[in-house]
Structure 1
């Protein structure tokens, strides 16, 4: 048999096999190949040796192959929690593949080239050569089947690992969704708290505007109410600022959660696609459609069909998944911290605002009580002044009556004196009648003057009483006006103060489905 025909026969036989992989040098005994190459001529061997052969990367020993863990839920051989000491976790299984695949043609040419120098030209038995060739092909096929089973096992384990990490990502997405919904719920709660705080500020401004209507008389009362309102205004402004700052923090955290969610969704989608591809790759080993195909020359390049981008290392893949999961876990932890801080701070803000509101209401109640007491006192004084005024009026009336009674005798006495002054000549003398008339006139005049003095005093007293009564009435008007203002502020304006602000916190109910 010529070398060309022998090579063609061997190649035709070997190309009909299903799976061919690398054949270790110890798989076939050298003595068998010596007998196989005995009948080959030196020129044929040289012809085959001149064929260029690609370089081959030797296999790692079988003990270097990693095996997947017993538990598929722990692909790293460690804890199932990816957040616990990820750097110390063991690496998932991997197999080192040769850089250049070994095809049936390359295998036979390599074997012929390796043992051609030891050929014995004295033996040229075609049946022996055919037997050895068939033995070589059978052992190569068996080795290829074993290697293919190992590859299928690794693909199945890889699918399990991908499913495990997909479940982890899905669980993390669900937890992130729950935490994000909680954060959004408190964001809506903060919006309600902000509206309540604005309403409290409007109530305070209305109270301050109403307080300007008061007539300032007692500075201590006015200053106390004004000071409490001013302090409440400062507290409301501080509360509004804190709520606005918390809203900004929550908005930024919601953006971070959205970014983490998008990264996880992309990673989850890629892993689902990888599961589909690897599952299909593993199924190729048992699919008859692929098992019956015969390799052709144009399909022998292992790089054909592989993505053009750089293939990432397993460490990079692990680090990317861990980075996404850790970023999501960090976002969830920050969300929970923000929620706790919001709950604590809003409770403190509500307590502060409610305390200031209670202080304002207490100051208004004290002011109302003071105005009421003062008004009652003024009413009592006005009653006393009215009695004194009536007494003065009575005295004035009596004095006027007495004056009228005394003026009639005085008029008579004056007329008598005028009449006696008409006596002629010597008859106009100071007789006893004249002396009596003169004494009567003096007495009557003194009585009238005294009564007129008493009347003047009584009138002056009544005038003073009238002035005092006027002052008391003005004070009474001031008391009633201020009492009405404070009562309006306390009962009407302060009634509009948001009742959601309590010492236990903001009693607001947020919408479950916001617009």
Structure 2
């Protein structure tokens, strides 16, 4: 610029204008194409004639103006370069800051979904453990139901050993059949519920695995983005990756990325709620089945107690009738002995009367008279015969009655033995066996 000022003081006429805007004459001189040139462009630098003074001044002015234009253009270019460098530096800073902010926002989003997935995994894991505990309760309840079923079937089989006429389809047998049917239905229900719980546990674990895989991908992406967020212009790990700006065809969009995690969370939450509902259903099933079994057990026990009371009462009545029958048999035996003795006692008077008649039949001639003695003796014999016939008839009746009493005694003793056997089966066998019936807690799967 100092040189430019010197030139301007010597020649004040020229202005600072680009070379393309020099006066036509000066421009033609500078290009050595004016009217006063001694040769064309083809012979520039090789002319033999001397230049004119005007040509020398014009050539100098042309060189000055060309140098000035080049310096001015260079100065503008330097200014523009500094401006462009500053702008690009600011733009690069703003871009890097915005990228860092975007990466930070992405980190927050990833952390949010990662936390949601991690929470859902923990909740699914806890829910699966709770459902596993419920499944174990179901299995224990199913195992515990085998004891009541064996008790009921054993009671039914044991009561088949009752003898006639006690081999009846009474209230106890009806209740035992209802109990066996109830236990079979409960076992089928428990088996179906166990299969449903196992299927739900499988679904819980599948969705937990899906969420864990998504969580693992997000953890890896979070670590990568966190590493990227820590990069700066002075980082030593950065280098050129020319093709890294190319978008992958399989890359997801933020909407599909969020929807992907949201879908996993939604399905996992849906299965978790289904698992919780199933656990509540299992609680209801175990509670209701345990109560139903205990109520039916109480009904069977009450029927057994009433039946035992009936058998005990019938046995007491049979024993009472047997005692009375035995006493009657003894009295009838005494009566028969008395009748036999009475018949025997009538033989002597009959012999006497018949002997008297026989001897009096030997009276001679007119002495063979039908006197009062004769009539009395005949009447006595007839009376004695009638008495003997009556006594013998009564003896036959007494002997038949004794035989009937003996048959009755035999039937009473048999019925008493049957009642004793039935009472032994119901009280000593069945009711003692029913003492092994599981408690409500065992039937509910808690033990």
Alignment match, 1:143: 91
1:424–1:258 distance in 2 versus 1, CA, 3 Å = same
Matched, 1:347 2:287: yes
Contact 1:176/1:328 (8 A) holds in 2 = yes
In the TM superposition, residue 379 of structure 1 has moved relative to its aligned partner by 1.5
**What are the within-5 Å matches in structure 2 for residues 3-402 of structure 1?**
123-125=69-71, 126=74, 128-217=76-165, 222-285=169-232, 287-290=234-237, 299-303=241-245, 310-402=250-342
Which of the two has greater helix per residue? 2
State the shift of 1:268 in Å: 0.7
- Aligned-residue offset at 1:258: 1.0
Partner Cα distance (1:164, 1:286) in 2? 29
Offset at residue 471 of structure 1 (A): 2.6
Secondary structure of the 2:98 match is: helix
CA RMSD, 1 decimal: 3.4
Q: Is the 8 A contact 1:257 1:331 kept in 2?
A: yes
Instruction: Note the alpha carbon deviations across 1:84-130, whole angstroms, 9 max, x for none.
Output: xxxxxxxxxxxxxxxxxxxxxxxxxxxxxxxxxxxx99821145534
The TM-score, its normalising length taken from structure 1, stands at 0.66
Map 1:408-419 → 2, pairs under 5 A:
408=348, 410-411=350-351
1:151 and 1:170 map into 2 onto residues whose CA distance is: 27
The answer (yes or no) to whether the contact 1:211–1:486 under 8 Å persists in 2 is yes
**Which deviates more from structure 2 when the two are superposed, residues 126-135 or residues 272-281?**
126-135
Output the CA distance in 2 between the equivalents of 1:198 and 1:142.
82
Pair 1:189–1:121, CA change in 2 (3 A): farther
SS where residue 312 of structure 1 aligns?
coil
> How many pairs were matched up?
383
Which whole-Å CA distance do the structure 2 matches of 1:189 and 1:121 have between them? Answer: 101
Post-superposition shift, 1:348? 1.9
What is the deviation of 1:355?
2.2
User: Which secondary structure state, in structure 2, belongs to the residue aligned with residue 369 of structure 1?
Assistant: helix
The 8 Å contact of residues 360 and 368 in structure 2, kept in 1 or not, is answered as no
Task: Report deviation, 1:339.
Answer: 0.9
CA distance in 2, matches of 1:487, 1:300: 95
Distance 2:19 2:435 in 1: 117
Deviates more, 1:381-390 or 1:269-278: 381-390
Q: Secondary structure at the match of 1:222?
A: coil
Q: Distance in 2 between matches of 1:481 and 1:39?
A: 141
- Judged with a 3 Å threshold, the aligned counterparts in structure 2 of structure 1 residues 340 and 428 are, in CA distance, closer, same or farther, namely same
Q: Hey, what's the Cα distance between the residues in 2 that align with 1:199 and 1:469?
A: 43
Query: In the alignment, does 2:440 pair up with 1:496?
Result: no
SS in 2 for 1:123: helix
Q: How far is the alpha carbon of 1:169 from its aligned partner? A: 1.3
- Is it true that 1:403 corresponds to 2:343 in the alignment? yes
Q: Offset of 1:338 from its aligned partner?
A: 0.7
